[in-house]
Chains A and B, each alone.
Chain A
């Protein structure tokens, strides 16, 4: 018998109306049977609301089943006498890095679990040191968690579990709120613990790229197990996955596209290296000629995506920004950045966390005033004394990260009216604008009078975006609008934004960590590193600088890596292949 087994696990929420009367049940988990063996690395996939988190909370008795049984190391989770033994054996890491750290010092936080278990002081000290070493955070043991990155905080959370000497770690979307670097460091850490310390890992995620190294993958949908198997088996059923609202790594998608065009690549390709091996093993007749040869050696390097003679809409002139100047905490967030944004562009801003992107976009609408340098909107300095900055904010709309956390009104419609109301519009006009904006982001009319809190995560976010759109901005700036959403939610939000850009003619500035998304949507990319603007260009040009991007902790789309892997270039090509479509047309010999 495995270390964790569930037999026909059912969990029902009781739904109640406003008076607390029972109006029905919702089955969040519906007949799940699992068997996890000691030392396995299990990945659980599923879109938001598929029941995967609810299931996970059963595995360490945070929830007890409505029906069926859950056994952890042979103990029934319904048996109250074993409660603490179960939680000690199956530790849990949660999604939000900030909300699971209890102490103000790293080592004290790691000690929290063993302290609760009543472990003697010297033993706790030993365990804390060991656990921090295991996650590679020993040198930060006396730091405040507030000074750590998201990835580091999650590693502290893992160390906190390790200090309880568990058999198994359950991770409930631990990477959903992290940037790519943080995701990688957390994943590498748990894979190492799995291999070296033999810890069983159950990793819940909606990032497909994180499951390729798992021993087994379970895909959940509507509270049921929809698919189960090795990563290869799962990934070879690509259409099914996409139907379940999940995506696959670009290597898998590209292989499947090529197979559809008659190139005999094997099914279930998981990674870039597997793709490269499989493609190289193809008979010569199927292999394409070096497509880089058809790229001209020099392409005209323009300075903007659109015509240069047009006056810029927004302009930064040698802008610097320093937090807490002349104190011990002085931090130069932005240093001497000059850039121009023209009407109708879709601009992406990339750079790792802390490179100054968020500060930069707050200067674009005058929320932050540069320490030096000028910000111009339609040629006017927005920090001139007479300039109306409040009016500017409705012309340059800014959507913050996790914008749904700012919703406050009792209904969706009223919340979206907040912006137009502040603009001093009449009630009819407010309403008309709000309705228009809600339609634009695709919120159905039947939800307009709901409380924003009742909506799903993706819907809430769209309401928040509508709140900015209702002010009829000329520029829409979005700070990572897809953070924390599942693949389907991500795609939906981005295609809405792209449609708004096309149809409403709004200039878009998008901050993103996903190079694949940038490649797909941007027509101009700015690369930031340590507060400076590194370089800019069309996406196909920007992503041809692979080495340069990697040096500053960024990457390129998987397809670009694949293309370069297949056709190594001595010199950097003037442009690169950056989308699956690009690669498909390059690799399919024309007949």
Chain B
């Protein structure tokens, strides 16, 4: 059923990484990404791989789940590798028709390809171990300083969490409206692209109306429950750093320092 769909790709498991404060994980992901870009050699990437493998083992998320995250960006990776293969000037190894593959091209293609793969694997690690709600919470807290310069951080976070709640409901509703219009003989499958787009109108308008109706209801319900923005609001489970979170920060700092030092040598 559509209501059962989960947004994102959270993989529930009782692991240390899952228990970490979402802020740590967000910062950690950023540190990891920065480290990937600080290196420009395979040896450097190996250091990042070591870090990633450590986190992966701790997280107890099966590796094949994480690999699945590569699927949607596969084309992008292949294109990156191919462009580097063919378009890097240097010592020619193979030549056919107008293409030539150079030694430098092979190296660059392999390097950029690996970096991209590591980048995606690392960031999906975050979504596998953090629920969307935790992520929203973490982002809200991390971005809090921005609210001093007038960025509506709380409001954006509230919108995100409401979206998370209503996406499955609206998906289900879309399905229902589609079926109802099909029951009136609507045809969404045949014709060219313009006809198909036009066939969407009987779905789109009721859906829009329903979204507005729900938004109106929800706004009223929120007001009735004394919602008045982020000011003076408390939380039942405020994010609180535990010892493990501080330790994780220490490890992250060590990793970053190590990366910066190693960068000179490799």
Contacts and interface: CB of A to CB of B under 8 A. Distances in A.
Interface residues of A, number: 66
A102 B3 contact: no
B174 to A, nearest CB: 12
B223 interface: yes
Interface residues of B, number: 48
Interface in B200-259: 201-202, 205-206, 209-210, 213-214, 217-218, 220-228, 232-238
B5 to A, nearest CB: 9
Interface string A382-402: 000000001001100111100
Given A102-B218, A405-B206, A408-B205, A146 B234 contact: no
Contacts of A161: 225
B179 A115 contact: no
B252 to A, nearest CB: 27
B3 A160 contact: no
A406 interface: yes
Interface stretch (B24-32, B62-70, B144-152, B159-167): B159-167
15 contacts: A62-B224, A88-B226, A91-B225, A94-B221, A102-B161, A102-B221, A102-B222, A103-B165, A111-B235, A114-B234, A116-B227, A164-B225, A390-B187, A406-B180, A422-B186
Interface string B15-52: 00000000000000000000000000000000000000
Contacts of A117: 226
Given A118-B232, A365-B183, A405-B206, 8 more contacts: A87-B224, A116-B226, A118-B234, A120-B234, A324-B4, A390-B185, A398-B183, A422-B185
Contacts of A468: 183-184
B182 interface: yes
| Interface hub of B217, B232, B236, B238 (most chain A Cβ within 10 A) | B236
A99 interface: yes
A397 B157 CA distance: 44
Interface string B175-201: 011011111111100000000000001
- Interface majority SS (helix, strand, loop, mixed), chain B: helix
B261 interface: no
Nearest to B237: A121
A468 B179 CA distance: 13
A408 B221 CA distance: 27
B77 interface: no
A87 B222 CA distance: 11
Contacts of B206: 405-408
Nearest to A120: B234
A60 interface: yes
Contacts of B161: 102-104
A506 to B, nearest CB: 15
Contact of B236 (A101, A124, A399, A405): A124
Contacts of B182: 367, 393
B226 A164 contact: yes
A104 B5 CA distance: 13
B183 A408 contact: no
Nearest to A84: B226
Contacts, number: 156
A108 B218 contact: no
A422 B186 CA distance: 6
Interface of A: 60, 62, 84, 87-88, 91-92, 94, 96, 98-105, 107-108, 111-121, 124-125, 128, 145-147, 160-161, 164, 323-324, 329, 331, 362, 365, 367, 390, 393-394, 397-400, 403, 405-408, 418-419, 422-423, 453, 467-468, 471
Contacts of A102: 161-162, 165, 218, 221-222
B210 A405 contact: yes
B225 A408 contact: no
| Interface hub of A120, A145, A405, A453 (most chain B Cβ within 10 A) | A405
A121 B179 CA distance: 45
Given A329-B4, A390-B187, A422-B187, A125 B225 contact: no
B110 interface: no
B75 interface: no
Contacts of B139: none
B217 A118 contact: no
Contacts of A116: 225-228, 233
B1 interface: yes
Contacts of B224: 60, 62, 87, 91-92, 94
B169 interface: yes
| Interface hub of A362, A403, A422 (most chain B Cβ within 10 A) | A422
